[in-house]
A and B are shown apart, each in its own frame.
Chain A
Amino acid sequence: MSAATASAGIVELLPPDRVLTGEAASEWAGGRDVGTVLFPADTNEVQALVRLANETGTPLLPAGNGSWLGAGGWTRDGGAVVSTSRLDSVVHYEPADLTLTAGAGLGWRKLGAVVEPNGQWLPVDTPGVGAGTLGGVAACGVPGPLSGRYGAIRDNVLGLEVVTGDGRLLRIGGRVVKNVAGYDLVRLFTGSRGSLGVITRVSVRLFPRPGADVTVVFGGGVGEALEVARVVRVTSLPVAAAEMVVRGTGDETGRDAELAVRVLGGRAEVDDVRARLVAEVGTGPEGTMRGGEGEAFHRERTAWEGRSPIVVRMTALPDRLAATMGWAGGGAGRTRGEIAADVLGGVVRVKGLSVDDGIAGIAATLTRARSELEAMGGTLTLSRAPREVAEVAGWTGGGGGGGALARKLKSLFDPRSVLLSKCP
């Protein structure tokens, strides 16, 4: 059944050139049938939309560029996606302060173009970041491999402007790097996946781009790569990130793994760390990438999930990586999937599962893996999934805690459940 166009009242709030319906809306949403997409141009329009949605009972699904629409929200008949992609101006950027404030719709690449000439960056390598917006990345709040070194996005968002689900406009936090005035609502809204409000403006902390960016790649079978990963995990050397990708099909012996270890810092430091790391590992690397070559490699890695319809995210303590990978391999092996593992963070992602493998089979595999992971304190979350899979397998298990508190917070900021997004 296709999603119907949103109610006339909501659509009429914006000029026709900022409303998409039918096939145009689906095309914008990467083939998903979303019914209507609205493009407000400023915070006032977002607030007006949300307020009218409350009055008319129209469900809304907040989005940036729409690259995470498969992550837990669907429009319902008469509802609409609200994209903040037109709120894309840089409001304040003072390079010497290493802070930037911009509209939520500022594209990630445009952000890079603004700050890179000053030798700065926002070191976030969350999945899919390149196609996203600043607000979308903040709303999703997913840590990437670099978060051990620089903190996750939630550690680097300094302030937010948000239209809450009931239409209140909040300006929380600020644009200074240390701020403990009042409760940390910035952390609550960052990573809340648009389930509490629509983020319209974001202030972030930037970092100086290190003088040297070197990536050392180790190859081999999964077992060998896991041993290199173990050495990288326990070393006292300052490794910025380490990510393993397992490709291939069939059983584990037929797979090949590639472990990319990223070292950032001054040139002398990076060369020293690279040499000592290779000595500690005891196996020669397949290659070393420097500068632009390495950056392009990591850009490609952030796009690893691509448009894969089902992506599963498993977490456990990093020293249990082999076990987590084992479950991931069990699921992926049966379903021709691929695996990416953040070695230092203990996060394992599986993609390539297909509904053709049977929803019941996928759900059973995920449920079993989830219960084993949770038994050792881990979690299994669906990062992206078709509705029918998510409804059977569940977005998440009991991890994270605070279920009753979370429900009350949702009710506080979105009492009429106007916002359709789910925060797993």
Chain B
Amino acid sequence: MIPATLTKSLVEICGRGGVIVDEERLLVYESDALTAYRHRPGAVVLPRTTAEVQGAVTAIARHGLPIVPRGAGTGLSGGAVALDRAVVIGTARMNRILEIDAANHRAVLQPGVINAELSAAARPHGLYYAPDPSSQTACTIGGNVAENSGGPHCLKYGVTSRYVTGLTVVLPDGSVAKLGGQGRDAPGYDLVGLFVGSEGCFGIATEIEVGLLPLPEGVRTLLGIFDRIEDAGRAVSDIVSAGLLPAAMEIIDGPTIRAVEDSVFAAGYPTDAEAALVIEFDGVEAGLDEEAARAAGFCRRAGAREVRSARDEHERMALWKGRKKAFGAMGRIAPDLLVQDATVPRTTLPSILKGISEIGKRYDLVVANVFHAGDGNLHPNILFDRRDEDELERVERASKEIMQLCVDAGGTITGEHGVGLDKKHHMPLIYGSAELGAMWGVRRVFDPAGVMNPGKVLPEETAPEWTANGEEQGAAEPVAAAVAAP
């Protein structure tokens, strides 16, 4: 519970409907989509404007309480979890698209706008918003900005940071800063790029300017069915090596196929297959058939037993269904799911998949893989039951081994889900004390008092020590780290 004086202030700023202090209603906000971490916030505030966010931040900071920004709570790293009864500032009521500037292929919106709704609003103008995280029908653009979200079509079009061209942000001290804006060529440091992916630690974006793309004229979608996952991986490499640039290339493995086919989301994939590869091309109609035919040829030569192609939008949705519903289907097999999110160099995919399979067998765990094969972004999902303490411990050990395996192959610990609470202690796997110290320093530039989303992203033991007048005294004891060469 927060002090009554703070509740009163917040109600004055955001109205009675914009402040939640009731313990039962606060339960909704105790976790994000990574339900392993649950902490009930002290209160939830739901402002509607930049001024209200500013007022709320100032009032909460005055009471010395930490602040956790939150979009739709679909994140998968525990980033929106309110540690130490922090006050959550939710953007659910900041859901207005302020401008669709079709002539300049841009839009300005509040952070609570849902990703898919932006594309829907842009569609009548012949435009859409390219980054498409799997949760796009629920997740918000503000959350996408905080996490630098990706999605299947980022293979061709790039991730969120490529599309965010301007931000209005409320900084942790309650001041407002306008960063970038009006297109892609603002002078000075790329503070927009620095803010994107800062996981709610640098402030709250209250207005976001994004770039939109013209809707592609045509789409061709293929589904390759493979008896061996390595063959699917080879098809992906062959397609890329041949100079083709599909909009998306996604693989789901045998255990995932069977989970989907046993569920209400059954998509008609053969249950004895060990991999399904979804490939999509988009662009002008001319040449699309040729590109799709070449990709189908690579699949067959790599050993696909079957290559299906969609003849219309209905069939396209059917081919995608197994991929899109994979996470939902896994809920049927086990009560808990740990979603990993490592990225590895694409050429290492076959050996990494083999390694993950061996780790799963060694710890007697079911690991189901769904991944963005085109850009090497893996999502090994470990299925388990948290009530089984022994299994839980095995999950944690296997998870860490999988991450180490990916880092050793030249990869990273998170490709699109963020570090949050879940992976902060794995940061020393890829960064040494100098890099972590620099990140602490940048965080301190934005948030000298440490009020914004504390306890996330950076492990506390790596924080440099600061003198009373704000000068860095040098990093704490160096952490053991295998620094990845860039």
Name which of A11-19, A24-32, A304-312, A402-410 contacts chain B. A402-410
> Which residues on the A side are within 8 Å of B214 (C-beta)?
236, 238
> Which residues on the A side are within 8 Å of B434 (C-beta)?
168-170
Is A412 touching B418 in the complex (CB atoms < 8 A)?
A: no
With A178-B159, A180-B419 already in contact, the answer to whether A402 and B410 are too (CB < 8 A) is no
Determine if A8 is an interface residue (Cβ-Cβ < 8 Å): no
For B252-295 the 0/1 string (1 means CB < 8 A from A) is 00000000000000000000000000000001111110110000
- List A residues 89-108 near B (Cβ within 8 Å): 91-92, 94-99, 101
> Which residues on the B side are within 8 Å of A267 (C-beta)?
287
Which one, A181, A401, A412, contacts B445 given CB within 8 A? A412
Determine if B11 is an interface residue (Cβ-Cβ < 8 Å): no
With A178-B415, A180-B418, A188-B190 already in contact, the answer to whether A377 and B287 are too (CB < 8 A) is no
Name which of B34-42, B82-90, B239-247, B316-324 contacts chain A. B239-247
Name which of A54-62, A204-212, A289-297 contacts chain B. A204-212
Determine if B221 is an interface residue (Cβ-Cβ < 8 Å): no
With A181-B412, A184-B161 already in contact, the answer to whether A147 and B184 are too (CB < 8 A) is yes
Is A175 touching B345 in the complex (CB atoms < 8 A)?
A: yes
Is A269 touching B457 in the complex (CB atoms < 8 A)?
A: no
Dominant SS among interface residues on chain A: mixed
For A225-243 the 0/1 string (1 means CB < 8 A from B) is 0000000011011100000
- List A residues 312-330 near B (Cβ within 8 Å): 313, 315-319
Which one, A180, A272, A313, contacts B287 given CB within 8 A? A272
CA distance A377 to B166 in the complex (A): 12
With A95-B241, A177-B343, A184-B194 already in contact, the answer to whether A345 and B185 are too (CB < 8 A) is yes
Determine if A179 is an interface residue (Cβ-Cβ < 8 Å): yes
> Which residues on the A side are within 8 Å of B346 (C-beta)?
96-98
Determine if A221 is an interface residue (Cβ-Cβ < 8 Å): no
> Which residues on the B side are within 8 Å of A168 (C-beta)?
434, 437-438
Name which of A75-83, A158-166, A252-260, A280-288 contacts chain B. A158-166
> Which residues on the B side are within 8 Å of A265 (C-beta)?
283-284, 287
Is A182 touching B427 in the complex (CB atoms < 8 A)?
A: yes
> Which residues on the A side are within 8 Å of B377 (C-beta)?
178
Determine if B96 is an interface residue (Cβ-Cβ < 8 Å): no
Is B375 touching A180 in the complex (CB atoms < 8 A)?
A: no
Is B184 touching A143 in the complex (CB atoms < 8 A)?
A: yes
CA distance A192 to B377 in the complex (A): 29
Which one, B180, B198, B217, B286, contacts A400 given CB within 8 A? B180
Is A172 touching B443 in the complex (CB atoms < 8 A)?
A: no
Determine if B305 is an interface residue (Cβ-Cβ < 8 Å): no
Determine if B150 is an interface residue (Cβ-Cβ < 8 Å): yes
For A380-424 the 0/1 string (1 means CB < 8 A from B) is 010000000000000010011110111011001100000000011
Determine if A70 is an interface residue (Cβ-Cβ < 8 Å): no
> Which residues on the A side are within 8 Å of B147 (C-beta)?
180
CA distance A196 to B194 in the complex (A): 14
Determine if B237 is an interface residue (Cβ-Cβ < 8 Å): yes
CA distance A319 to B186 in the complex (A): 17
- List B residues 409-430 near A (Cβ within 8 Å): 410-419, 423, 427, 430
Size class of the B contact interface (CB-based, 8 Å)? 35 or more
Is A207 touching B245 in the complex (CB atoms < 8 A)?
A: yes
Determine if A378 is an interface residue (Cβ-Cβ < 8 Å): yes
With A175-B486, A208-B245 already in contact, the answer to whether A379 and B187 are too (CB < 8 A) is yes
Which one, B159, B189, B437, contacts A423 given CB within 8 A? B189
> Which residues on the B side are within 8 Å of A96 (C-beta)?
237, 240-241, 346-347
With A143-B184, A187-B194, A267-B287 already in contact, the answer to whether A178 and B485 are too (CB < 8 A) is no
Is A174 touching B486 in the complex (CB atoms < 8 A)?
A: yes
> Which residues on the A side are within 8 Å of B347 (C-beta)?
94, 96-97
CA distance A234 to B179 in the complex (A): 27
> Which residues on the A side are within 8 Å of B486 (C-beta)?
101, 158-161, 171-175, 201-203
CA distance A180 to B193 in the complex (A): 12
In the complex, how many angstroms separate the beta carbon of B450 from the nearest chain A beta carbon? Answer: 15
Determine if B446 is an interface residue (Cβ-Cβ < 8 Å): yes
Is A400 touching B187 in the complex (CB atoms < 8 A)?
A: yes
CA distance A160 to B190 in the complex (A): 15
In the complex, how many angstroms separate the beta carbon of A326 from the nearest chain B beta carbon? Answer: 18
Determine if B435 is an interface residue (Cβ-Cβ < 8 Å): yes
CA distance A158 to B485 in the complex (A): 11
Determine if B178 is an interface residue (Cβ-Cβ < 8 Å): yes
CA distance A328 to B162 in the complex (A): 28
> Which residues on the A side are within 8 Å of B351 (C-beta)?
none
Is B410 touching A175 in the complex (CB atoms < 8 A)?
A: yes
Residue of A nearest to B288 (CB): A269
Most buried by A among B148, B240, B414, B484: B484
With A203-B486, A234-B103 already in contact, the answer to whether A182 and B457 are too (CB < 8 A) is yes
- List B residues 331-384 near A (Cβ within 8 Å): 343-347, 372, 375-377
Determine if A151 is an interface residue (Cβ-Cβ < 8 Å): yes
- List A residues 182-202 near B (Cβ within 8 Å): 182-185, 187-188, 190-192, 196, 201-202
Determine if B126 is an interface residue (Cβ-Cβ < 8 Å): yes
CA distance A424 to B185 in the complex (A): 12
Is A180 touching B416 in the complex (CB atoms < 8 A)?
A: yes
Which one, B202, B215, B345, contacts A99 given CB within 8 A? B345
Residue of B nearest to A98 (CB): B240
Is A97 touching B415 in the complex (CB atoms < 8 A)?
A: no
Which one, A94, A191, A234, contacts B345 given CB within 8 A? A94
Q: Please give 13 more A-B residue pairs, beta carbons under 8 A apart, in addition to A176-B411, A405-B177.
A: A97-B346, A174-B430, A178-B159, A180-B148, A183-B198, A201-B486, A268-B287, A273-B284, A317-B106, A346-B104, A402-B178, A405-B446, A409-B442
List 10 tightest A-B contacts by C-beta distance, closest first: A159-B486, A187-B193, A272-B286, A400-B188, A269-B287, A208-B243, A268-B287, A178-B415, A377-B182, A266-B287
* 16 sampled A-B residue pairs with Cβ under 8 A: A171-B431, A172-B438, A176-B343, A181-B431, A183-B202, A192-B190, A265-B283, A315-B182, A315-B186, A345-B185, A346-B183, A396-B187, A401-B177, A409-B189, A412-B438, A412-B441
Residues of B within 8 A of A (CB): 101, 103-104, 106, 126, 147-148, 150, 154, 158-159, 161-162, 177-191, 193-194, 196-198, 201-202, 214-215, 217, 237, 240-241, 243-245, 283-288, 290-291, 343-347, 372, 375-377, 410-419, 423, 427, 430-432, 434-439, 441-443, 445-446, 457-458, 483-486
